[in-house]
């Protein structure tokens, strides 16, 4: 080997192992047979580079040795209802409209031993690429129809289009594919990519790979795509899961260690005059969970170590009052507080609530001669423009604004809070790490790092919270304020009749002095069409079944001032029913609202439905949530059933994972976890814990990974956090 000369090697092979991330810069168009059209189709699958391709691991595998020949499906040892998978050739296909919204799809399969009909309802996407001559892998339940075996399909994938599966081994990898990128092409490209890539450098310290008997990175990529048997596929997957989790956890560990070591914070002790005043003004007793949370927050505020705490509490658990206390601790300490919310509606609401509860309070003026001045609670959103914006920004910069609520507008250029003591981020799941950091930087970086409090309603199991927010301390609010009346959830199928009963109930509640939300269907990703649909629904209801009531309209395309007016009128009771898009999804708090009607509810995700429903059941009156839907998919049906069954956010989150089987459902999209390509958080909890322990142990001994064997790890971690590298390091 050592004797070989460079010219004797095939041009693409390399003697030197290479960096995996160098493949990010190799576009898929460098692979054989990939022209602009195929490159675009691969791009739609999320595959732009060879790096993306290698991480495009099979969705599942089918083991040919464990298949049942079709001729044996009549055998006595196979029960009806048994789950099985077969790989077979398609003889013919058919599609029939049974009734409105119900299509029966049939595929006749043969495998040389016999013939079998596989069938399913609706789900037109499953038929894509299914043609006579294609080889498909079909999973489903065995059923009998007029004495003959049939398969009720749950999953179906085209393995080969008329190529009889010749290029697969005993284990058939099923890669996600698309119309223009059939599975055989994915496999061909994968083979070439693996060959030309050769050996990969491995960033994981050898003592860790040894600890778990992990494959090398090179072997893991080879075997995950083309495993000789299922056990190898599992080992390969384990290595890749550990690989990505270890990198993420190392980044989080570095971040936490650097924050903890920072003596650059400031103390905003709890229990000052304003803090005490707020506590005495509350119209209710804090729950014991709130008391505990406040103590933890207070302890953080008291020290000079910058607070970096996440409060996780289900919708309605009472997080806002914690934020208010923290903000006042800053003001009590002579500093400023800022509260960032994800929507204008929510920012306004925080602003109004804070103003109300803090009404009439004053602070010491900077200028002793003036004695005191009123506590200044202001709001900054995109609605704040022109002279008003100028005035506000210069007042903030002069330290004359004590508490500033707002939206993303807070983290724009020109916003300076020289004396920033506490920054609160509400409903964190809507923001990314970047915005969290940007908010903190509104303060004067040369004075002190503010205390940061993050609040989220995303109900995630604690171990997962560690992964998502591994650099944060976590407080869980696991108790609801007392006196809440349970929300009754009713699923109404419009096909069963008209919605007369639903609208009659809305009227009855309004007559009794209550208010209602009507949530319009999700139309598409475009705000514009969504707004149009909301407008049409509003028109229809206001002139039809809800005629005579004060019906308002709220959607994302309204001008900020209009949104503000509608919400203010709804809050004040002048509007009785508000027809809205998901603008009202997070945080909106109108305790007098007791009915919600969600139209086409099956189009929403489970966590979104949970957030929406959280807008009612906030006061002392009983509430009802109507989910109007005629779901066309089993998943849609399962979501509605889950909603009817429980209001517990944690239970729903787990159900959501079962239904979707993905870790990204939990609002994790922006937290770094979206970068996980192979890991499924719930399934891989054990690996999360291992990676976390290992990463923190490593970073404890070498906080900035300066030892030379860690050079590649350091490089990859820096690469992972991109522009935010500086927040991994001290000083
Ligand atoms: P979330 O955690 O969803 O942000 P909020 O802070 O908006 O919840 O609180 C929901 C409602 O519960 C508000 O109307 C609030 O005033 C009320 N609330 C909060 N804490 C308590 C409590 N301890 N007892 C009674 N009501 C409370
Ligand atoms: Mg809230």
In this model, does residue 457 exceed pLDDT 90? no
Superfamily of domain 66-168: Nucleic acid-binding proteins (2.40.50.140)
Q: Token pair of 78, please?
A: 């196979």
Torsion of CA 395, 400, 406, 409, to 10 degrees: 30
Q: For ligand 1, atom 23, which residue shows the shortest CA distance?
A: 286
Q: Give the global pTM.
A: 0.64
**pLDDT, tens digit, for every residue of 72-112?**
877 656 677 777 888 889 999 999 988 887 889 999 999 88
More confident residue, 169 or 187: 187
Could you say which ligand is closest to the alpha carbon of residue 315?
Answer: 1
Task: Say whether pLDDT at 8 is over 60.
Answer: no
The two tokens of residue 465 are 């919270």
- Ligand 1 pocket check for 323: Cβ under 6 Å: no
Is the CB–ligand 1 distance for residue 703 below 6 Å? no
Cβ atoms 630, 494 nearer than 8 A: yes
Domain edges within the chain: 1-58+179-194, 66-168, 273-362+371-477, 487-646
Q: How much distance in Å is there from the Cα of 315 to the middle of ligand 2? A: 7
Shortest-distance Cα residue to atom 27 of ligand 1? 481
Question: What is the predicted pLDDT for the residue at 644?
Answer: 94
State what percent of residues in the chain have pLDDT above 70.
84
Atom number of ligand 1 nearest to Cα 618 = 11
Is it true that 273-362+371-477 and 487-646 share their CATH fold? yes
Contact 62, 115 (CB under 8 A): no
Q: Are 317 and 477 in contact (CB under 8 A)?
A: yes
- According to DSSP, the residues that pair with 699 across neighbouring strands are none
Determine the atom of ligand 1 nearest the C-alpha atom of 315.
3
The pick from 311, 339, 480, 481 for probing ligand 1's pocket by mutation, whose C-beta has the most ligand atoms within 8 angstroms, reads 481
605 CA to centre of ligand 2 in angstroms = 20
Residue 471 has pLDDT above 50, yes or no: yes
Q: How many whole angstroms from 455 Cα to the centroid of ligand 2?
A: 8
Average pLDDT over residues 406-410: 89
Whether the CB of 320 sits within 6 Å of ligand 1:
yes
CB 134 within 8 A of CB 158: yes
Give residue-wise pLDDT tens across range 658-716. 666 443 333 333 334 456 788 876 678 789 889 989 999 999 999 889 998 999 999 99
Phi and psi torsions of 512, nearest 5°: -85, 5
Residue 671, pLDDT score: 39
Q: Is the pLDDT of residue 2 over 50?
A: no
Inter-residue contact 25 to 52 (CB < 8 Å): no
The two tokens of residue 390 are 């100028």
427 CA: nearest ligand 1 atom? 4
Interatomic CA distance for residues 238 and 30, integer angstroms: 29
Match domain 273-362+371-477 to its CATH number in 3.30.70.3290, 3.90.1150.10, 3.40.50.300, 3.30.1490.20. 3.40.50.300
Task: Report the alpha-carbon distance of residue 85 to residue 90 in Å, rounded.
Answer: 15
How many helices and strands (H and E) does the chain possess? Answer: 21, 22
Residue whose token pair is 């103390």: 267
The answer to whether residue 55 scores a pLDDT higher than 90 is yes
Confidence of residue 16 (pLDDT cuts 50, 70, 90): confident
- Our answer on whether the CB atom of 321 is closer than 6 Å to any ligand 1 atom is yes
480 in contact with ligand 1, CB cutoff 6 A = no
Please state the φ and ψ torsions of residue 372, each to the nearest 5 degrees.
-120, 160
**Can you tell me the distance from the alpha carbon of 145 to that of 165, in angstroms, rounded to the nearest whole number?**
29
Of the listed ranges 211-215, 264-268, 475-479, 552-556, the one predicted with least confidence: 264-268
Distance (angstroms) between ligand 2 centre and the Cα of 510 equals 25
| CATH superfamily name and code, 487-646 | P-loop containing nucleotide triphosphate hydrolases (3.40.50.300)
**pLDDT above 60: residue 433:** no
Q: Give the C-alpha distances (Å, rounded to integers) separating 718 from 133, 235, 615, 713, 721.
A: 49, 27, 41, 9, 5
Over residues 185-196, mean pLDDT: 93
Q: Is 286 in the pocket of ligand 1 (CB under 6 A)?
A: yes
- Give CA angle at 56 (50, 61), nearest 5°: 140
User: Which residues on neighbouring strands pair with residue 158, listed in sequence order?
Assistant: 136
pLDDT tens for 628-647 read 998 888 888 989 999 999 88
Measured from the Cα of 614, ligand 1's closest atom is: 3
Within 13 Å of residue 491, how many CA atoms lie on the same side as its CB? 17
Q: Stretch 279-290: mean pLDDT, rounded?
A: 94
pLDDT in tens, 334-383: 999 999 988 887 898 899 889 988 988 988 876 666 678 899 999 999 88
Secondary structure letter of residue 475 according to DSSP: E
Query: Ligand 1: distance of its center to the CA of 422 in Å?
Result: 21
Residue 293 Cβ contacting ligand 1 at under 6 Å: no
pLDDT value for 3: 39
Q: Say if CB 452 and CB 308 are below 8 A apart.
A: yes
What pLDDT, on the 0 to 100 scale, is given for residue 145? 81
Nearest Cα residue to atom 20 of ligand 1:
318
Confidence of residue 17 (pLDDT cuts 50, 70, 90): very high
pLDDT digits (tens, 9 = 90+) for 475-518: 888 888 887 778 999 999 887 666 889 999 999 999 999 999 99
> Which residue from 391, 387, 417, 414 is spatially nearest to 405, judged by alpha carbons?
417
Whether 1 shows a pLDDT value over 50: the answer reads no
What pLDDT shows up at residue 484?
Answer: 76
* Distances 725 to 51, 255, 307, 308, 448 between C-alpha atoms, Å: 22, 10, 20, 18, 20
pLDDT of residue 586: 67
**Pocket flag, ligand 1, residue 459 (CB < 6 Å):** no
In 29-133 the beta strands, taken as DSSP E runs, fall at: 60-63, 83-99, 102-110, 115-121
Indicate which atom in ligand 1 lies nearest the CA of residue 286: 23
Compute the radius of gyration of the chain from its Cα atoms.
29
What phi, psi does 95 have (nearest 5°)?
-145, 135
Q: What is the mean pLDDT of residues 434-442?
A: 62
CA distance 89 to 115: 10
For a substitution probing ligand 1, which of 317, 320, 584 has the most ligand atoms within 8 Å of its CB? Answer: 320
The protein residue whose alpha carbon is closest to atom 1 in ligand 1 is 316
Terminal Cα-to-Cα distance of the chain (whole angstroms): 48
Helices (H), 344-420: 344-357, 386-397
Q: Which of 4-8, 62-66, 197-201, 660-664 has the highest mean pLDDT?
A: 197-201
Cβ count near 687 (within 10 Å): 20
Task: Indicate the pLDDT class of residue 730, thresholds 50, 70 and 90.
Answer: very low
**Cα 319 to ligand 1 centre (Å):** 7
- pLDDT at residue 69 is higher than 60: yes
The response to whether residue 313 sits with its C-beta less than 6 Å from ligand 1 reads yes
**Which ligand lies nearest to the CA atom of residue 346 in the structure?**
2
Mean pLDDT of the 162-185 span: 73
Query: What's the pLDDT score for residue 92?
Result: 94
Query: What's the pLDDT score for residue 428?
Result: 62
DSSP per-residue string spanning 402-442: SEEEESGGGGSTT---TTEEEEEESSGGGS-HHHHHHHHTT
445 vs 594, more confident? 594
pLDDT band at residue 576 using 50, 70 and 90 as cut-offs:
very high
Q: Tell me: pLDDT of 574 over 80.
A: yes
Query: What are 226-265's pLDDT values in tens digits?
Result: 999 999 999 999 999 999 999 988 988 887 787 777 656 7
For the chain, the average pLDDT equals: 84
Distance CA 153, CA 132 (A): 18
């Amino acid at each position: 080997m050592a004797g070989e000369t460079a010219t004797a090697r095939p041009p693409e092979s390399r003697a030197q192992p290479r960096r995996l991330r160098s493949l990010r810069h190799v576009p898929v168009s460098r692979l054989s047979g990939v022209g602009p059209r195929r490159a675009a189709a691969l791009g739609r699958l999320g595959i732009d580079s060879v790096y993306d391709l290698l991480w495009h691991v099979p969705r599942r595998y089918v083991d040919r040795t464990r298949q049942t020949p079709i001729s044996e499906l009549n055998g006595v040892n196979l029960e009806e209802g048994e789950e099985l998978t077969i790989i077979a050739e398609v003889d013919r296909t058919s599609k029939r409209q049974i009734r409105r919204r119900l299509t029966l799809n049939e595929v006749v399969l043969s495998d040389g031993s016999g013939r079998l009909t596989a069938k399913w309802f609706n789900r037109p996407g499953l038929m894509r690429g299914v043609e006579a001559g294609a080889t498909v892998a079909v999973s489903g339940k065995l059923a009998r129809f007029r004495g003959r075996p049939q398969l009720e399909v749950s999953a179906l994938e085209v393995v080969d289009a008329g190529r009889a599966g010749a290029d697969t081994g005993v284990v058939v990898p099923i890669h996600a594919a698309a119309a223009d990128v059939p599975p055989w092409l994915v496999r061909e490209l994968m083979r070439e990519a693996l060959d030309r890539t050769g050996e990969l450098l491995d960033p994981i310290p050898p003592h860790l790979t040894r600890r778990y008997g992990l494959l090398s990175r090179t072997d893991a990529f080879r075997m995950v795509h083309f495993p000789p048997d299922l056990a190898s596929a599992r080992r390969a997957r384990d290595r890749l899961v550990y690989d990505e989790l270890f990198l993420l956890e190392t980044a989080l560990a570095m971040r936490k260690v650097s924050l903890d070591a920072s003596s650059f914070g400031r103390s905003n002790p709890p229990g000052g005059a304003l803090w005490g005043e707020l506590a005495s003004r509350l119209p209710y007793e804090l729950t014991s969970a709130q008391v505990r949370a406040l103590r933890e927050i207070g302890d953080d505020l008291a020290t000079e170590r910058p607070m970096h705490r996440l409060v996780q509490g289900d919708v309605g658990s009472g997080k806002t009052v914690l934020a208010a206390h923290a903000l006042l601790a800053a003001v009590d300490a002579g500093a400023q507080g800022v509260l960032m919310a994800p929507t204008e509606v929510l920012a306004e609401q925080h602003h109004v609530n804070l103003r109300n509860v803090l009404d009439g309070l004053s602070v010491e003026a900077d200028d002793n001669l003036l004695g005191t001045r009123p506590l200044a609670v202001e709001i900054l959103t995109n609605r704040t423009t022109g002279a008003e914006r100028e005035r506000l920004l210069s007042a903030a910069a002069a330290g004359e604004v004590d508490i500033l609520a707002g939206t993303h507008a807070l983290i724009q250029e020109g916003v300076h809070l020289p004396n920033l003591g506490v920054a609160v981020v509400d409903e964190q799941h809507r923001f990314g790490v970047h915005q969290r950091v940007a908010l903190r930087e509104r303060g004067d970086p040369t004075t002190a790092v503010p205390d940061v409090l993050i609040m989220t309603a995303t109900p995630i199991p604690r171990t997962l919270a560690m992964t998502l927010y591994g650099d944060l301390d976590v407080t869980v609010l696991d108790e609801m304020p007392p006196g809440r009346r349970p929300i009754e959830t009713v699923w109404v199928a419009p096909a069963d009749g008209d919605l007369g009963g639903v609208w009659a109930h809305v009227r009855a509640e309004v007559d009794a002095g209550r208010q209602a939300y009507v949530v319009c269907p999700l139309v598409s990703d475009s705000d514009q069409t969504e707004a149009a649909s909301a407008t049409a629904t509003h028109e229809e209801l206001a002139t039809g079944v809800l005629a005579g009531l004060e019906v308002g309209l709220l959607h994302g395309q309204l001008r900020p001032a209009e949104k503000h007016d509608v919400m203010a009128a709804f809050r004040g009771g002048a509007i009785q029913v508000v027809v809205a898009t998901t603008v009202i999804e997070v945080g909106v708090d109108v305790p007098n609202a007791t009915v919600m009607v969600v139209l086409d509810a099956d189009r929403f995700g489970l966590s979104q439905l949970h957030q929406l429903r959280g807008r009612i059941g906030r006061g002392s009156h009983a509430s009802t949530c109507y989910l109007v839907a005629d779901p066309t998919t089993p998943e849609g049906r399962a979501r509605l059933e889950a909603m009817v069954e429980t209001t517990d956010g944690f239970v729903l989150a787990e159900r959501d994972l079962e239904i979707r089987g993905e870790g990204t459902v939990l609002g994790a999209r922006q937290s770094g976890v979206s970068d996980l390509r192979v890991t499924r958080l719930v399934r891989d909890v054990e690996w999360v814990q291992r990676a976390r322990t290992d990463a923190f142990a490593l970073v404890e001994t070498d906080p900035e990974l300066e030892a030379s064997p860690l050079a590649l790890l350091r490089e990859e971690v820096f690469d992972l956090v991109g522009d935010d590298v500086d927040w991994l390091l001290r000083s």
